[in-house]
Amino acid sequence: MNMAYIPFNVQIAFMVIGGLLAVASLVSMYLVRAKPERDYSELRLRIKTWWIIVAVFATAVLFNRTVSVIVLGVVSFLAFKEYLSIVPTRRADHRVLFWAYLAIPIQFYWVWIAWYGLFIIFIPVFVFLFLPMRMILIGENQGFLRAIGTLQWGLMITVFGLSHAAFMLVLPAEVNPAGGAMGLVIYLVFLTEINDVAQYIWGKSFGKRKIVPKVSPNKTVAGFVGGVLTTTALAVALAPFLTPLTRYESLGAGILCGLAGFVGDVTISALKRDIGVKDSGSLLPGHGGILDRLDSLTYTAPLFFHYVYFLHY
Amino acid sequence: MLRTLFALLIVKPVALLMLGINVRGKQYLPLSGPAILVANHNSHLDTVALLSLFPLRIINKVRPVAAADYFLCNRFIKWFALNIAGIVPIERRAKEAGLHIFTPAIEALDDGSILIIFPEGTRGEPEMMGKMKNGIGHLLSVRPDTPVIPVFFYGLGKCLPKGEVLLVPFFVDAFIGEPLKWEGNRQLFMDKLAKAMSELQSKAITVVSDEQF
């Protein structure tokens, strides 16, 4: 297979990620031994699933454009499928849903041929105008607005938003000599996931005042602030190795990812609260569904993309 | 061979990617015959979903009991039904023919097969269990040692409803219940089976609609 050129920094990045996970695995194994009275099976499961997520992510970014587009397209498809499986849909819309699914391969095809113009308007304009028409041809008026609103929102979050992560891989690599074609995505995904973990740890350690009690009772101001600070520090430290961002630009990128990650997280929480489910699915043992893991990324991917795109591409 | 290949190339990928089945009670799934799986029938996908639950090495032994008048109607469907799906054909309309219509099913059981039976007789309302026909009671009265495993699927009616040809992907849930034993009386057994199915159904509805919230 035609492998993409993998810059030295990217090789190091994956070694660091593997190392961090190995440490997490060892710590969890130690905990199981040291405190047999407590149940760590959930933590063990979570870490085991992290290994699989990292393996899929490595497959998505390290080979070539075709593999990237297929893997990220399938991830997007699974997220959209999970979304449609938990939200109420009308039986009459069976064929409309089929068309909505069809938007996924088309959107990722624009990514594959790197056609930015269509990539950026296909779902917000063409799909947005087409799906209601398809619904009207079926002729079910009852619940029309709710049905079309639900469908378009899901496509925007799970397909349009996430496809930005894929488009980063097809941006011209020569603009980013340090990180190559895959540097930006690794930077984005790493910051987003670390932000989740950091918010959790800061919140557990120092959190008192709840930040959005109705939507996410476990989120605290301390967790939020600590998360954003940690993410920003890491963003500044890692930027020279993986991105074309200057120091001040990376400061902005860190704050952006911290804030957006938090908003994405609570937005999916609000969705789950509204529907009345705890997890969006059960695809990722120990994490819940795929949307439970991708929640922050649905916000950080498009926002970080346009931030970098505006500054450098 | 053909069936294993079909399972590997079609059944498993469709079930994995297009559906994604969340199974509860997998430990009750029989891994050797003779056994009978009883499921609610909402879509042609039910059979695909059930087949996908089994490991490839025994998939040859899993055989859906199906209506001869529907599946043996034309040459292509007949070839597919007998050689790929591996159905055990039953004459639905041959009431006057008497009980020996079950002979193929009994032979399959004696051969160590795991039969799939949809006792509603046809595809019913989505996510519901309709009234069950008595055929399975007849089978059990002749082969009383066969374990009967109830399975309830939730969500398949949304993927491919009766009368639709387009498959729309959704995650679905499967609930497998404890094996039931024959107790010497057809009515008693059918009641027990109906109760087991309705318990799985109410479990499905509570678990799916308010997942441990």
State the DSSP string of A101-169.
Answer: HHHHHHHHHHHHTT-HHHHHHIIIIIIHHHHHHHHHHHT--TTHHHHHHHHHHHHIIIIIIHHHHHHHT
Is residue A192 classed exposed, middle or buried when 0-12, 13-18 and 19+ CB atoms within 10 A define those classes?
buried
Mean pLDDT of A176-188: 92
* Chain A positions in Cβ-Cβ contact with residue B161 (cut-off 8 Å): 91, 94
CB contact under 8 A, A276 and B209: yes
In this complex, the residue of A77, A98, A281 whose CB is nearest that of residue B168 is: A98
How far B93 CA sits from the closest chain A CA (Å)? 32
Residue A52 to residue B189: CA distance in whole angstroms: 45
At residue A75, φ and ψ (nearest 5 deg) are -60, -45
Q: Is the pLDDT confidence value at B131 over 80?
A: no
DSSP string, B61-117: GEEEEEEHHHHTSSHHHHHIIIIII--EEE-SS-GGG-GGGGHHHHHHHHTT-EEEE
Contact residues, chain B, for A282 at CB < 8 Å: 22
B205 touching A (Cβ < 8 Å): no
Q: How far apart are the C-alpha atoms of A272 and A89, rounded to whole Å?
A: 15
Q: Which of B22, B166, B170 sits opposite A81 (nearest CB)?
A: B170
Q: Of A231 and A64, which is predicted with more confidence?
A: A231
Contacts of B42 in chain A (CB under 8 A): none
Spell out the domain ranges in chain B: 2-209
Q: Which tens digit of pLDDT belongs to each residue from A18-47?
A: 999 999 999 999 998 888 888 888 889 999
- What value does the mean pLDDT take over residues B170-185? 88
Choosing among A42, A81, A91, which should be mutated to test the B contact, i.e. which has the most B CBs within 10 A? A81
**pLDDT of B95:** 59
Give me the mean pLDDT over the A292-298 stretch: 94
* Residue spans per domain, chain A: 65-170
How high is the pLDDT of residue A293? Answer: 92
Cis peptide before B126 (omega within 30 of 0): no
Q: Which candidate in A75, A94, A134, A275 is best for mutational testing of the B interface (most B CBs within 10 A)?
A: A94
Q: How many residue pairs from chains A and B have C-beta atoms closer than 8 A?
A: 43
CB contact under 8 Å between B166 and A81, yes or no, is no
Of A53-57, A208-212, A301-305, the one with minimum mean pLDDT is: A208-212
- B20 has a chain A CB within 8 A of its CB: yes
In this prediction, residue B213 carries a pLDDT of 30
pLDDT of residue B211: 41
- B169 contact residues in A (CB cutoff 8 A): 77, 81, 84, 101
Please determine, for residue B184, whether its predicted confidence score (pLDDT) is greater than 90: no
| E strands in chain B | 21-24, 35-39, 62-67, 88-90, 114-117, 148-154, 172-176
Q: How confident is the model at residue B212 (pLDDT cuts 50, 70, 90)?
A: very low
Which one of B14, B43, B171, B210 makes the best mutation probe of the A interface by having the most chain A beta carbons within 10 Å? B171
Which among B166, B171, B210 has the least Cβ separation from residue A276? B210
pLDDT tens-place string over residues A51-63: 999 999 999 999 8
**pLDDT the model gives residue A254:** 97
- Type of residue at A284: L
**B168 vs A78, A101, A281: nearest CB:** A101
The answer to whether B100 and B162 are in contact (CB under 8 A) is no
Residue of A nearest to B213 (CA): A278
Rg of chain B, C-alpha, whole Å = 16
Question: From the CA of A284, how many Å to the nearest CA of chain B?
Answer: 11
DSSP secondary structure of A210-279? BSSTTT-TT-BHHHHHHHHHHHHHHHHHHHHHH-S--HHHHHHHHHHHHHHHHHHHHHHHHHHHHHT-SS
Task: State the pTM of this model.
Answer: 0.89
Mean pLDDT of B32-51: 88
* Cβ distance of A283 and B164 shorter than 8 Å: no
Q: Is the pLDDT of residue B204 over 80?
A: no
B169 touches chain A (CB under 8 A): yes
User: Is B1 or A23 the better-scoring residue by pLDDT?
Assistant: A23
- Compute the 3-state secondary structure of chain B and give helix, strand, coil in percent, each to the nearest 5: 45, 15, 35
Residue B153 has pLDDT above 60, yes or no: yes
B165 touches chain A (CB under 8 A): no
Task: Evaluate whether A249 touches A313 at the Cβ level (below 8 Å).
Answer: no
Nearest-neighbour CA in chain B from A104: distance (Å): 13
CA distance linking residue B131 with residue B181, whole number of Å: 20
Q: Provide the pLDDT for residue A280.
A: 84
Note whether B158 contacts A: Cβ–Cβ < 8 A: yes
Average pLDDT of the segment spanning B53-82:
86
Return the CATH fold of B2-209: Glycerol-3-phosphate (1)-acyltransferase (3.40.1130)
- Indicate the pairing of strand B114-117 with strand B88-90: unpaired
- CB-nearest partner of B169 from A81, A276, A281: A81
The confidence band for A3, taking pLDDT boundaries of 50, 70 and 90, is low
CB A50 within 8 A of CB A190: no
Task: Kindly state whether A153 is in contact with chain B, defined as any CB-CB distance less than 8 angstroms.
Answer: no
Angle of the B135-142 helix axis to the B186-209 helix axis, nearest 10? 120
Q: Residue B210: is its pLDDT beyond 50? A: no
| A292 in B contact zone (CB under 8 Å) | no
Chain segment B78-129, per-residue pLDDT in tens: 888 888 888 888 876 655 556 677 888 888 889 999 999 888 877 777 666 7
What's the pLDDT at B82?
Answer: 85
A134 interface with B at CB cutoff 8 Å = no
pLDDT of amino acid B99: 62
pLDDT in tens, A118-165: 999 999 999 999 999 999 999 888 999 999 999 999 999 999 999 999
> Chain A interface, mutation test: which of B165, B173, B211, most A Cβ atoms within 10 Å?
B211
Inter-chain residue contact B22 with A101, CB threshold 8 Å: no
| CA–CA separation, A149 and A100 (whole Å) | 12
The minimal CB distance from A278 to the residues B155, B171, B213 is found for: B213
Q: Which residues fall within 8 angstroms of residue A110, CB to CB, at 6 or more apart?
A: A118, A119, A122
| Average pLDDT of the segment spanning A107-114 | 97
Q: Decide if A278 and B17 are in contact by the 8 Å CB cutoff.
A: no
- Predicted pLDDT at B83: 85
